[in-house]
Amino acid sequence: MEVMRSQKKASSALTSSNGVSTLNLYRSAPTLEVRLEDFERFAVDRLLVLRGISDGLARGKKPDEMEKLVADLLKAHMRHPQASEVNNKDIISHFVLRLVYCRSEELRKWFLSMESTLFRYRFRSVNSDVHLSLMTELGIPYKVVSQKEFEDLRDQLNLVARSANQPLPTPNGLYKVSFEEVPELVATRKVFIQKGYAYVALNQVVSFVVPHFRSHLSKALVLTNRKWTSMIREQEKDRLTPIVEALATSYLGPDYSQDKEVGEISLKDIDQVARTSFPLCMQHLFNTLRDDHHLKHGGRMQFGLFLKGVGLKLDDALAFWKAEFSQKVGAERFDKEYAYSIRHNYGKEGKRTDYTPYSCQKIILSTPGVGDHHGCPYRHFSEENLRAALGKMGVSSRALEDVIEKARNRHYQLACTLTFEALHASSCDAGINHPNQYFSDSQKILKEKNMSTD
């Protein structure tokens, strides 16, 4: 996408009644003037909407719940201080994310699915004039059914509507389209068909507009990927490319470099808080370290930064790691080979960067090798090992089946959220996005419970 060119309107947009959502078809890339910080900020805002939709779908929300969720997400993230800029924000954010998500089959699939869902629910919230304009713009041939034709067919139309549990059709808002345009409605016998035409009520229009939107976007993503690899990536290597590459795996919440709300934990409490408040990934690393007195580099980084985030001070961290490692490699070798990297994590060596704990997304995308124990158990454990680990944590057999099903369907963070909910008998509507968030939320719940029983 060309970022720095000025032209106000690049794509048709239809504003819905809530003033937040605009309905664009994103047919051609915009040539809007975009500041670099908006390029990234708008994309992050849209990503929050798409990730919220993904979470809602994974939780099995019903269509009316999804409709509310999408409206709330749009209100929360897609507003702009200037009403006139709402549409530009929508367009820019979509095209930036196209660049981000065009780059692999897996990314394309996710983006296509989330954008189509977003479009579907926005489409439901706009009025019939907008629906007809969109059909025209998409080039979907339709004919308005005349009053006479409606009267001639009234009995058959009513019969189909009743048997499909649909509202009875009225002469206003009934259209004829080629039956090939509406395979979903034909397959479920929800439309009357005659001479190659399906008679479609306005409330059914969404079922054939969305596949058009989806198919156009699918092709566009493939083309964008070609342009990205042949040209844009190299041309923009110092400016946009680093932003685009970081966005797909970016974690959008707090960094938890030091959890201010929970405070510090001391060495004497570590076994107890590990049992009650560490997520499975960290419990696994903790138990492995206790059993083997060793962790390879990936495990030391993932677990060490987590401990720093939960409030373990540097001196305590050094004592903790030394107590374990020295049993395997001896105290001297620990001081020589391992203490440096712990101090490094706390920003006391090397470039003195204060490193932040890893997010779930980063952990899930890691690739542990043989002998490694880092990673996310919901993704990296076999089903058998996951079952055993969850049972050991105390997850009831009923909740366990739900967790396993989510993990099997690759909803790893949702599986972790369900584990959290089962173990704390408390809901976690925001979902688990960070191991330190798991810890922090768990500690808050346990403290509240303790206070109420005092």
Residues that bind ligand SF4 (CB under 6 A): 279-281, 360, 363-364, 376-378, 412-413, 416, 432, 435, 438
Q: How far apart are CA 228 and CA 237, in angstroms?
A: 11
- Quote the least distance from Cβ 353 to ligand SF4, whole Å: 22
Closest approach of ligand SF4 to the CB of residue 71, in Å: 28
Task: Give, as one character, the DSSP assignment of residue 139.
Answer: T
Distance in angstroms (rounded) separating the CA atoms of residues 162 and 190: 9
DSSP H/E element including 176: strand 174-178
Distance in Å, CB of 403 to ligand SF4, minimum? 11
C-beta closer to ligand SF4: residue 279 or 311? 279
Residue 69 Cβ vs ligand SF4, minimum distance, rounded to whole Å: 21
Residue 385 CB coordination number (10 Å): 12
Look at strands 143-144 and 192-194 and give their pairing: unpaired
CB atoms within 10 A of CB 83: 11
Six-digit token string for 28? 């051609």
Phi, psi of 172 (to 5 degrees): -85, 125
Distance of closest approach, residue 377 Cβ to ligand SF4, in angstroms: 6
Query: Contact, 4 vs 21, CB < 8 A?
Result: no
Residue 24's DSSP bridge partners are: 13
- Residue closer to ligand SF4, measured from CB, 16 or 413: 413
Closer Cβ to ligand SF4, 11 or 440, answer by number: 440
Alpha-helical segments (H) within 31-104: 36-58, 63-77, 86-101
DSSP 199: E
- Distance between CA 53 and CA 118 in Å, rounded? 8
Residue 224, H or E segment: helix 206-227
CA distance 424 to 434: 17
Q: Of 22 and 436, which has the nearer Cβ to ligand SF4?
A: 436
CA–CA separation, 378 and 419 (whole Å): 10
Dihedrals phi, psi of 194, to nearest 5 degrees: -150, 135
Minimum CB separation of residue 138 from ligand SF4 in Å reads: 39
Tell me how crowded residue 450 is: count the other CB atoms within 10 A of its CB.
Answer: 9
228 vs 104: CA distance, rounded Å = 11
416 is in an annotated binding site: yes
Nearer to ligand SF4, 220 or 389 (CB): 389
Residue closer to ligand SF4 (CB basis): 228 or 378: 378
Nearer to ligand SF4, 34 or 432 (CB): 432
Phi, then psi, of 363 in degrees rounded to 5: -70, -40
- Nearest to ligand SF4 of 204, 361 (CB atom): 361
Say if residue 428 carries a ligand binding annotation. Answer: no
Identify which of residues 31 and 283 has a Cβ nearer to ligand SF4 in the complex: 283
Q: Measured from the CB of residue 413, what is the shortest distance to ligand SF4 in angstroms?
A: 5
- C-beta of 389: minimal distance to ligand SF4 in Å? 10
CB 420 within 8 A of CB 440: no
- Is 102 part of any known ligand binding site? no
Residue 361 CB, shortest distance to ligand SF4, in Å, is 8
Is residue 357 within 8 A of residue 436, CB to CB? The reply is yes
Annotated binding site for [4Fe-4S] cluster: 281, 360, 376, 416
